[in-house]
Structures are given as structure tokens and as C-alpha cells.
Structure 1
Amino acid sequence: MKKRKVGILLYDYVDILDFAGPAEVLSLTTNLKAEQTLTLYRKKLLPTRPFDVLTLTETGESINTHSGVKIEPQFGINNCPKLIF
């Protein structure tokens, strides 16, 4: 199965749970029940997981969350890899 790239768009004053929750769910998604158990107890995620989760902002620069935590995105809109829609 081909791994799909999923981007989570971050913006100033976003609530951390609004992007961290979905990122965790997608990152821990597996194709098989046996993989699910292994994924939960490993320090590194399995390479067979179906989604590669990326963070991006409009410009690629860091943003501040609602609670003041600074987040450094992986990409900006103009330099991110092709994502699924």
C-alpha cells in the first residue's frame, strides 16, 4: 500500500489539541491489528503505517499557539510535498 502524505495547516494562535490530536491519530493508524499493538509500544513508528503526517504554515515560519507555545513547521505552503485531498 502506498503511504499517503497528509498536511496539517498551522496558524497563529491555533489550539495545540486542534492539530496534535489529529496528528497522533493519523500517525498511529495501522493496516493490521497486530501492527496496532506494536505501534503503541515502540519508540519509533513502523514504516508500514499508511499516513505520513506533515506540518505546514502559510510561509514556513514558526507560529505561536493560543497558549504561547512556539511551533516550528516542517514546510510552508509553497515548498511542501504533494498532499492527498
Structure 2
Amino acid sequence: MGVPVNLKDRDAFHLTIEEYLQALISLLDELTRLARNSVTLGDYRRPQLIAQFIKEVHAGFQILNLKNDTLRKRSDGIKYRVKEVEDVVYDLR
């Protein structure tokens, strides 16, 4: 990833905004998997919490004017994560 480390303090590093947003999208992918797996383990509340969080992040991405093609394409995929988790929550009802 090439994240520069502050060698003087060794406790700080820098991420660009794009790297942060890419990582946030990756987090949503993992949370989607967690929502599905939680149900198989009998945790029926967690998918609802995850669905709410993913919807809020999706709303935030919709206000951004993304110029980076890769980031824009990945952010477009968030709506599918919202649908996947909503389907899990719907099946629980």
C-alpha cells in the first residue's frame, strides 16, 4: 500500500482521502459477509445494525463528487451491499 510511516515517532502514518474511502468500501464488503454469517450463528440483531450503518455510509458516498474511476466504480457497488444486507434483514422477519 505504500503508507509512509513517521519514523521519528513510529506511531503515525498518513492515508490519502482516496485510500481511506477505498478502505471504507472494503469494510462494507466485509460487514456484508458478517451480516450473512451472523444469522447462521443465531445473532439476529447484528444484521440490522450493519444494515443501518451501510445505509448511512452509502448516503455519505452519494454526496461526494468522485472523479477517480476506480473509486467511483467501487462506490457504485455500495448500493448492492445495501441490498444484500436488506435481503438478510427482510428474511429474518
Relative to the length of structure 2, the TM-score reads: 0.32
Structure having the higher strand fraction is 1
Q: Which has the higher contact order (CA 8 A, sep 6+)?
A: 1
Q: TM-score, normalised by structure 1?
A: 0.34
Q: Which has the larger radius of gyration?
A: 2
Greater helix content = 2
